[in-house]
Amino acid sequence: MYLRAIHAEPSIPALKAFVAANPLGLLTTALPSTDPSHHLIQTSHIPWVLDDPSPDTDDLPILRGHIARQNPHAKVFIEHAAANPGKPFTFQQEVMVLFNSPHHSYVSPKLYVKTKPESGKVVPTWNYSAAQIYGTATVYTDSKADSTIAFLNKQIRDLSNKAETEISKHEKPWEVDDAPEKYIELLRKNIIGIEIKVQHLGGKHKMSQEMGKEDREGVAQGFEDMKTETGDYIAKTVREKGQLK
């Protein structure tokens, strides 16, 4: 990720909060396989649980997730983990997870109310927010191993609880134990667990900070006039990040 200084988010606590608020991350790996049908570079959408006992510090967190055993990505993990049967397997190669805000948009040059009429030296761009994690991954692939069962039991309960209480916000949240135990056991055998020890966390809010005050306000007003959730988010963020400039 290109972290231009004017766009980069310097606060680790703020980046951790961004990841927690946008838990669907793109896991990307470059792992060789003996199966010629498997691509070297693979990416999977995974909702993550952020283990962060010190959210207000620069301490880096741990990510926990799971994917379907039938996913080609999982099959590469399983192939490598076969070298260490019955135990969690940690990869030496680093992995990357990319988190995006759900709100992003094209920015028209027409919104630059000062520079466009004065010089015309403006071009289109795109505003967005994102965070990127690099780390080492440990996979839990043996469905009969106590370590895998314990990891997945905790993982699916923590993820369900987070989604039910923070995303769906149900008065009476659905719980894993609401489903038949045998059904959960069957589904658990068809997923593998992934735990990432975060070694680097960076991110950015590319929200028109490179423009002057009048142009930034033109962008913010233009998005506010859209009267959409995305427009409101971008207008608010453009103004917030412009003040920090």
pLDDT, tens digit (0-9, with 9 covering 90-100), for 71-98: 999 999 999 999 989 999 999 999 999 9
CB 87, CB 49: distance < 8 Å: no
> What gap in Å lies between CA 10 and CA 37, rounded to an integer?
41
H helices present in the chain, as ranges: 12-21, 72-81, 115-118, 146-162, 181-188, 213-224, 229-244
pLDDT score recorded for residue 171: 86
Which pLDDT belongs to residue 245?
Answer: 72
> How deeply is 224 buried, as exposed, middle or buried, from its count of CB atoms within 10 A (0-12, 13-18, 19+)?
middle
Alpha-carbon distance values, 98 to 27, 78, 94, 215 (Å): 7, 23, 13, 30
Average pLDDT (55-84) is: 96
Among residues of the chain, what percentage have pLDDT more than 70? Answer: 100
Q: What angle do CA 199, 30, 99 make, to 5 degrees?
A: 50
If you classify domain 5-105+126-209 with CATH, what class do you get? mainly beta
DSSP 167: I
d(CA 243, CA 245): 5
Percent of the chain surpassing pLDDT 90? 97
**Euclidean distance between CA atoms 171 and 178, whole angstroms:** 15
Tokens matching residue 175: 């719980």
Contact 135, 98 (CB under 8 A): no
- What Å distances lie between residue 107 and 1, 111, 166, 226, 237, CA to CA? 20, 7, 31, 12, 14
Q: What would the two tokens of residue 4 be?
A: 């231009």
The reply to whether the predicted model has a pTM over 0.85 is yes
